A and B are shown apart, each in its own frame.
Chain A
Amino acid sequence: MCLGIPGQIVALDPQHAALATVEVAGVRRAVNIACIVDDEHPPASTLGEWVLVHVGFAMSRIDAGEAALTLALLTELGEAQAEIVAMQQSGPMQ
């Protein structure tokens, strides 16, 4: 919940500008991207980017190296698996 989990934006939602599909360790789900887009960074610019996802919301853009480090950290803390399972079980793709 507080540590978040890194994922990559792999698709945008043509119906909802605030939603995108994010892939986290092979699991895909809809994530809200309102907090990482603005006039300078429109939704289209986020495709392929890595983001830190907190409870279904992308809260920060990060680089791929940071994403890999964070995922390794979460795995060692024993937090990654629970987070991914929770994502998988409760967040079916729309």
Chain B
Amino acid sequence: MKYVDEFRDGERAAILEREIRALAPRLPRPPGRALQIMEVCGGHTHAIFRYGIEAMLPPELELVHGPGCPVCVLPMGRIDDCVAIAERPEVIFTTFGDAMRVPGSRKSLLQAKGDGADVRMVYSPLDALALARANPEREIVFFALGFETTTPSTALTVLQAEADGIANFSLFCNHITIVPTLRAILEGGDVNIDGFIGPGHVSMVIGTTPYDFIASAYRKPVVVAGFEPLDVLHSIYLLLRQLVEGRCEVENQYARVVPNAGNRTAMAAVERVFETREFFEWRGLGSIDGSGLRMRDAYAAFDAERKFAVPGLRVVDPAACQCGEVLTGAIKPWQCGIFGTACTPEAPLGALMVSSEGACAAYYRYGGVPAAAGARG
């Protein structure tokens, strides 16, 4: 109840909390473990910590903070590739601010900038394209990252570059997709997720039908959720009701933004520019089949991976890092050996500490560490 006063509609929050607690005794009880619900999206993770939602839930229920923070799951090798491209004298390397501090094996983009590389933060890929127009003698590379939420924006930017005949613009494509990742989590041997809080803004683009297999083939409920704390609570309530009633369906709690069919224009642009990679390496999760996108041959001229030789090396995460175990719910962030000591938001070692949407950074910032176990006391 610590934060319930901060809800914009405290009364509704209190009702939902009561309803959730009333459902608790009727929930299925998996032997030897708590019932686990995974919030897939880092935006939800952030809201859950900011509003203390875990503390409002009955002890029978555990939230697992999923892989849906695109900055957090970038492997070190890809950052090394970024740095290698950025250090070329002809290149202006552009990136969202979130990716600046992600550690590579040699350095982060921020350190590369400090060492003289021309790395610039942009708000939008359109701004990178504007830089290409303004600097015809330089090569402008945009670090394209993110799930389906941001993929349409880079696809549309490439189509714009093509239409305008801009030859000194390219993408270093690191876009990833959520559905193969959820499938990998469901197939994982030691992971037991009983239901999913589905990502809101990914679903705004792809719709809700891509999750149908989770309900039909894996018999797990999914509720696509908005980002208001009340949305998250409401979605947990809807999931628990499905579990109590033995239903497995895909429900859309965020229908005010998410059409069940998704956004056709956005999906068509993505389809035109990108194709699926055989596999993509994730930090902490390893390689996942079909989970990454690359540029189609027709757009090879805009593909930084083909334009510049990138090292493309696979770099193992630091041995002390337990990001993978946190991402799959095997341990809580504060159970990692270096949480809050060798790894802090100011000097992150693991990717989950870098972004405000990473589970470790959220735990660190908002507490949530049991007093007896907390590295921060």
How far apart are A17's CB and chain B's nearest CB, in angstroms?
12
User: Which of the residues A2, A30, A56 comes within 8 Å of B146, measured between beta carbons?
Assistant: A2
Chain A residues lying within 8 Å of B198, measured Cβ to Cβ, are none
**8 A Cβ contacts from B29-46 to A:** 41-43, 46
Question: Are B124 and A56 in touch, CB under 8 angstroms?
Answer: yes
CA–CA, A51 to B60, complex, Å? 39
Question: Are A57 and B124 in touch, CB under 8 angstroms?
Answer: yes
CA–CA, A1 to B263, complex, Å? 18
Whether a CB of chain B sits under 8 angstroms from the CB of A64 is: no
How far apart are B70's CB and chain A's nearest CB, in angstroms?
7
Chain A residues lying within 8 Å of B152, measured Cβ to Cβ, are 35, 57, 59
Whether a CB of chain A sits under 8 angstroms from the CB of B19 is: no
Whether a CB of chain B sits under 8 angstroms from the CB of A87 is: yes
A to B contact number (C-beta, < 8 Å): 115
Chain B residues lying within 8 Å of A76, measured Cβ to Cβ, are 6, 50
A76 to chain B: closest residue by CB: B50
Question: Are A82 and B204 in touch, CB under 8 angstroms?
Answer: no
Question: Are B8 and A2 in touch, CB under 8 angstroms?
Answer: no
Whether a CB of chain B sits under 8 angstroms from the CB of A13 is: no
Whether a CB of chain A sits under 8 angstroms from the CB of B97 is: yes
**Given contact pairs A1-B146, A2-B70, A32 touches B126 in the complex (Cβ within 8 A):** yes
Interface string of B35-66 (1 = CB under 8 A from A): 00000011100110010000000000000000
Question: Are B150 and A2 in touch, CB under 8 angstroms?
Answer: yes
Chain A residues lying within 8 Å of B122, measured Cβ to Cβ, are 86, 90
Question: Are A90 and B266 in touch, CB under 8 angstroms?
Answer: no
Question: Are A54 and B153 in touch, CB under 8 angstroms?
Answer: yes
CA–CA, A73 to B6, complex, Å? 11
Chain B residues lying within 8 Å of A78, measured Cβ to Cβ, are 356
CA–CA, A35 to B153, complex, Å? 9
How far apart are A31's CB and chain B's nearest CB, in angstroms?
8
How far apart are A20's CB and chain B's nearest CB, in angstroms?
12
Interface string of A12-38 (1 = CB under 8 A from B): 000000100000000000101011011
- Extra contacts besides A3-B201, A57-B153, A73-B47 (18): CB < 8 Å: A1-B98, A3-B227, A30-B126, A34-B265, A38-B264, A54-B150, A55-B123, A55-B150, A57-B152, A57-B156, A59-B266, A69-B8, A76-B50, A77-B50, A77-B356, A79-B46, A90-B121, A94-B130
Q: Which are the 4 A-B pairs with shortest beta-carbon distances?
A: A56-B124, A86-B123, A57-B153, A90-B123
Interface CB pairs A-B, < 8 A, 6:
A1-B96, A34-B156, A59-B205, A60-B257, A87-B123, A91-B123
